[in-house]
Structure 1
Amino acid sequence: MVLTSKRSSMIRFSFKRFLRRYCNYKKLISFLLLIILGQYFYPYFSNNDADSLPPLYSTQNLSTDSQHPFYEGCVDTKEYIEDKSYRKMNATFVMLTRNEELRDVLYTMNSIESHFNQWFQYPYVFLNDVPFTEEFQNKTKEMTKAKVEFGLINELDWNFPPYVKESPLFKEAMYDQGDRGIMYGPMESYHKMCRFYSGMFYKHPLMKQYEWYWRIEPDVDFYCDISYDPFLEMHIAGKKYGFTILIPEIYWSVPNLFRYTQSFIQKNVGMKLGSVWKLLTYNLNIMKTDDEEIKDWVHLDKDLDPKLREKIMLDLYKEGKLKGTGHEEEALDIAINKAQSKKPLFEDKFNNEEYNLCHFWSNFEIAKISVFDNDIYNAYFKYLEENEGFWKERWGDAPVHSLGLALTLDFEDLHYFRDIGYRHSILKHCPKNSIMQSNKDFPYQENDVKYRRKGLSSLYDKGTDYGIGCRCKCPRSFIDVEDAAYPCMDIWFELAHEMHFETNFDGEYHPSIDVKERENKIRSQILAEL
């Protein structure tokens, strides 16, 4: 593992403060570059003690019994499909797009058809708030042999209610978010898109006929061949939600989302959270103690021993046990510093928990529609809608999906499609090819002549011992977001390898550190030193 649980807990709050302070639209470019380059978030790109640093995630085999690629490298797709046990799932691609994005839509279709769908021929559902043009419909149909459907989003699902749109507060909110530099904050269409994907898309009549969906976007690259059926493999493995990228959200786009999420939980007494909650939140109540001062001052394991030492030194000073030991001055310094110090303030602490801003980048999702279309998630979306955060703030569908999923799903329900190479915008994930996979063993065989590969397009990256990809061709110079998305990927792999400091979770966090026991141990050590 690159980071241990202890190391993650030591620096996680400085990261959150960084996002709160610096992440606005004016500094967006710098922020994204920091994610890509990892200069701030990920200490392993620095030159300090380089020889002693563990390897990057992308250069390791990090599979576990519960979290691993369905296949490492390629399979014989023809043989896979012709196997008697294979069955095509009730699934579709879905894309929310506009007529003017046709060129980017065709680019995405070319990539997904070439790398996957020319063999499996899953249908497409395109959604728009205005009718698709004949040109859009004809050209998208020409890209695939699969069924293509075009849906119109009704006015109520796409637009905010009239009482919102006509309110002076609505225009003021748009203007204020733009003035404060919140990414996409002043764009009404972006707010509509986030709201629609947060709680409307899976209710569209064209989507209601399917059990599974794969969300795609205009202008997307797939870097590796997907020689198996992800829908079927998720079904067999009992998985419900799959992703390729896990990153932190920009703080000022969702400052009150977690507040309202906690409020929803409190209003639904008896709700048992899924263990995905551990992936997205920090527990700030880790200690069993009746000492109110310790409760107020300490929220991290790393801070407990120093604070207990201070407490014990002051107790020993009062008891007169430090006289003639040379430690009296240390105790006096502790007393002065304590008098001058302020209790730590956690602005985003609710119910002794804090959102760590991690979320599944929802522009790629492979999931069962039922993970959203259920009583709990529908009620959650309705509650968020009633509290108007989709326009008063810039709540994205990605953090809403992620926190909403954590209300019901367990960690074992998730699947990290680590073997699928993917790019959207400037963020990229691309695995190393499996050394088990070679062109000789599993040569590319097009199912449609338009996707025939010649010349450079038929050359793939060299396989490695730790590789998992199938016929991947990664960009020549890039840093995998897997290596830069601190702290989210650290927490993911800690949970996958059962190294996370919250080892037990039955729907709520419980204090795990016995402070009295720790205090007695430190007191004995100090007395032995005197």
Structure 2
Amino acid sequence: MAILPRSPYKLGLILLAFGVSLHTLLTITHSGYAASTHPKRLLGGGSSPSSYSGNGGSSQWTESDGPAFGGNGTRGGRGEKANAAFVLLARNSDLWELASSIKQMESTFNHWAGYPYVFLNDEPFSDEFKKYTQELTDAECFYGLIEPSHWNQPDWIDEEKATAARNDMIEKKVIYGHSVPYRNMCRFNSMFFYKHPLLANFDYYWRIEPSIKFYCDLDYDPFLVMKEKNAVYGFVLSLFEYIETIPTLWDATKEFVASRPDLKETMKGNALEFVSEDGGETYNRCHFWSNFEIGDLNFWRGDAYNSYVEFLDKKGGFYYERWGDAPVHSIGAALFAKKEQIIFFEDIGYTHNPFTHCPQGASHSAGKCSCDPKSNFDNEWYSCTKRFLAL
């Protein structure tokens, strides 16, 4: 049996030495302990150590691609945070599928980053929904109601024509071809979500949906990557759109571009080659899968994109066809942003059924990812990511 010193002073010194040694050992061997006990974290800055080495202005991002965000190699630098929020479009019935998504976001990133959540619904959120979603995070949660005119099918839509279009898609077995609520959602995400009052004071957003999966720990802040690189759009999955849903979308796009010769300068150095293989004559159907997107709200609010989507809306294609927000966002970003302003977040592991992006090699190891590297949609013929990386 050990015999403790009788002097309280000597005992205190021994306990202090033991505590310092234990702290040092845990800091070296356990990254989660290091993050949670870093001085900036304890002082409320939400920061912890992480090393980076820069590679310039690549449109692909991995954690090793820094420099970091405050110039001192820490998460968010000196406690820096972007003016950003998560955006979640959901119904009350989505509660538990959404809870799983939030839990994973908190576990992999937001437990140290502390960004707020903005929930949007075309109906009031229930007390149950608010209670259980707020309990999942220490961050602020905001709950907003969507203005009916921003959600419902406009009165000027020819319902007979729209019904005929839906019936035709039902016969062709086009996914969501029958659904008016799905079309409402696509129109809202294309041209109204960034105008919601709850987002008015934010600059960046990260979209989260029910029943998705995040696989990798993030030791850096993607929002600050966006800010530092002056990026407007970030993605992890890209693929071809169903042509049956957008037969006239590209014609409408070309018509808009022709009507706005003043945008010619804006479009210099863009990513047109991602969405067209013949200089803009036709659309190759490539788009970023927008159920995951990290974006600059001010880009959507800007004249080029906002005028474009308002032009599209007047064509009625959200209801006479089934234009999705994914191709609309993708075309808008490809045309009106510089190609280096679009970032592929290679090291963020993600699934939205049926597709998975799983980081490879060193990125998989660095993020302690739980996805199978072999299960990676980037390698499939239906993915457009290789085309993007070749720009």
Q: Measured at CA, do residues 74 and 387 of structure 1 come closer, stay the same or move farther in structure 2, by a change above 3 Å?
A: closer
Contact residue 74 and residue 227 of structure 1 kept, 8 A: no
Tell me the TM-score normalized by structure 1: 0.59
Distance 1:74 1:102 in 2: 36
Distance 1:202 1:487 in 2: 28
- Which residue in 2 is equivalent to 1:339? none
Q: What is the CA deviation profile of residues 437-485 of structure 1, one whole-angstrom value per residue up to 9, with x for unaligned ones?
A: xxxxxxxxxxxxxxxxxxxxxxxx7x4xxxxx41111148x53111014
Distance 1:111 1:433 in 2: 22
Q: What is the CA deviation profile of residues 125-173 of structure 1, one whole-angstrom value per residue up to 9, with x for unaligned ones?
A: 01000000000000000000000000100110000112327x3223222
1:137 aligns with 2:34: no
1:236 aligns with 2:228: yes
- Which residue in 2 is equivalent to 1:326? none
- Which residue in 1 is equivalent to 2:355? 427
Q: Secondary structure at the match of 1:151?
A: strand
Distance 1:381 1:73 in 2: 34
Shift of 1:367: 1.1
- Give the ranges of 4+ consecutive aligned residues of structure 1 lying more than 4 Å apart after TM superposition: 73-79
- Which residue in 2 is equivalent to 1:360? 288
Q: Secondary structure at the match of 1:197?
A: helix
Map of 1:163-174 to 2, 5 A cutoff? 163-164=156-157, 167-174=159-166
Distance 1:100 1:257 in 2: 32
Rg larger for: 1
1:221 aligns with 2:149: no
Map of 1:140-289 to 2, 5 A cutoff? 140-164=133-157, 167-272=159-264, 273-274=267-268, 275-283=270-278
Q: Secondary structure at the match of 1:407?
A: helix
In the alignment, which of 108, 118, 128 is matched to residue 101 of structure 2? 108
- What is the identity, as a one-letter code, of the residue corresponding to 1:368? D
Distance 1:69 1:82 in 2: 16
Distance 2:61 2:161 in 1: 48
Q: Measured at CA, do residues 180 and 132 of structure 1 come closer, stay the same or move farther in structure 2, by a change above 3 Å?
A: same
RMSD: 2.4
Map of 1:61-140 to 2, 5 A cutoff? 66-72=58-64, 80-81=74-75, 83-84=77-78, 86-140=79-133
Distance 1:282 1:470 in 2: 35
Q: Secondary structure at the match of 2:182?
A: helix
Q: Measured at CA, do residues 487 and 76 of structure 1 come closer, stay the same or move farther in structure 2, by a change above 3 Å?
A: closer
Distance 1:176 1:376 in 2: 33
Contact residue 86 and residue 117 of structure 2 kept, 8 A: yes
Distance 2:370 2:262 in 1: 49
Q: Which runs of 5+ in 1 are unaligned?
A: 1-62, 285-351, 436-460, 464-468, 496-530
Tell me the TM-score normalized by structure 2: 0.80
1:471 aligns with 2:333: no
Q: What is the CA deviation profile of residues 28-59 of structure 1, one whole-angstrom value per residue up to 9, with x for unaligned ones?
A: xxxxxxxxxxxxxxxxxxxxxxxxxxxxxxxx
Shift of 1:202: 0.3
Contact residue 75 and residue 219 of structure 2 kept, 8 A: no
Shift of 1:401: 0.5
Q: Measured at CA, do residues 357 and 271 of structure 1 come closer, stay the same or move farther in structure 2, by a change above 3 Å?
A: same
Distance 2:201 2:183 in 1: 27
- Which residue in 2 is equivalent to 1:372? 300
1:412 aligns with 2:340: yes
Question: Larger RCO: Structure 1 or Structure 2 (Cα < 8 Å, ≥ 6 residues apart)?
Answer: 1
Identity %: 38
Contact residue 134 and residue 141 of structure 2 kept, 8 A: yes
Q: What is the CA deviation profile of residues 339-380 of structure 1, one whole-angstrom value per residue up to 9, with x for unaligned ones?
A: xxxxxxxxxxxxx61111000111111111011111111111
Contact residue 253 and residue 393 of structure 1 kept, 8 A: yes
Distance 1:384 1:82 in 2: 38
- Which residue in 1 is equivalent to 2:380? 484
Shift of 1:65: 5.2
Q: What is the CA deviation profile of residues 227-285 of structure 1, one whole-angstrom value per residue up to 9, with x for unaligned ones?
A: 1111112211222211111111111111110010001111112322242111111116x
Distance 2:124 2:346 in 1: 36
Aligned residues: 332
Bigger mean CA offset, 210-219 vs 405-414: 405-414
